[in-house]
Structure 1
């Protein structure tokens, strides 16, 4: 899998309390393929009809209030980006968090209240 350029939208996430229905909708609409993430329960990896690398994920939401669609930007340093977001007037929804596989992410709000995420990938093994 190739690593996208820093500071680019490199992942998207959809949250749905009806993941099977969401998989079917986007699969039929765009030809996207969904497979269970082997490292994370309740999360499916999304692949475009062409290409083997995952490009997004579908989080299984507990109820409709947690449904969402957001983009995530690949950054060099999540903690530094969180600090810069706050200094520019944005807000932190979820501070820098490290997943079990080593991926680091945070969820933020821009100055208009739009939710987005930032991440650094897990170290290559």
Structure 2
């Protein structure tokens, strides 16, 4: 899998309390396919990679909220330096909502941010 260029849209996630319905909707609408990537966390999060028909690699993910999060969709921007990007976002009037630094190999560090207009998005730095 090739790594996207820094500061580009690189991933998205759909979090839902009904993954089967989300798969049916997005699969039927866009001809996307879904494949389990195994447990992402020690809690056994069922994470499903999303691929577009004919695409060489997944472009996003879908997971069940299990009632622990509200349903949502978020886009991720790949950045070269997570800490510096968070600091710059705050200097420009954004808000850091949550930052997670991973201790698992292969799992990226990421942060959820909010722009000055209230729109939420995420950034990540691959390991």
TM-score, normalised with respect to structure 2: 0.88
CA contact (8 A) 1:15 1:59 kept: yes
How has the CA–CA distance of structure 1 residues 82 and 70 changed in structure 2, closer, same or farther, with 3 Å as cutoff? same
Q: CA 1:19 to 1:4, structure 2 compared with 1: closer, same or farther past 3 Å?
A: same
Question: Which consecutive segments of 4 or more residues in structure 1 shift more than 2 A?
Answer: 62-65, 99-102
Offset at residue 70 of structure 1 (A): 1.2
Structure 2 unaligned spans of 5+: none
Q: Which residue of 1 aligns with 2:8?
A: 8
State the distance in 2 between where 1:62 and 1:39 align: 14
1:6-33: CA deviations, max 9, x gaps?
Answer: 1011111111110011011111111101
Let me know the Cα RMSD of the aligned residues: 1.6
Q: How many pairs align?
A: 122
**2-structure distance, mates of 1:20, 1:120:** 30
Give, in whole Å, the separation in 2 of the partners of 1:8 and 1:78: 14
* Unaligned stretches of 5+ residues in structure 1: none
- Show the counterpart of 1:21: 21
Distance 2:109 2:80 in 1: 10
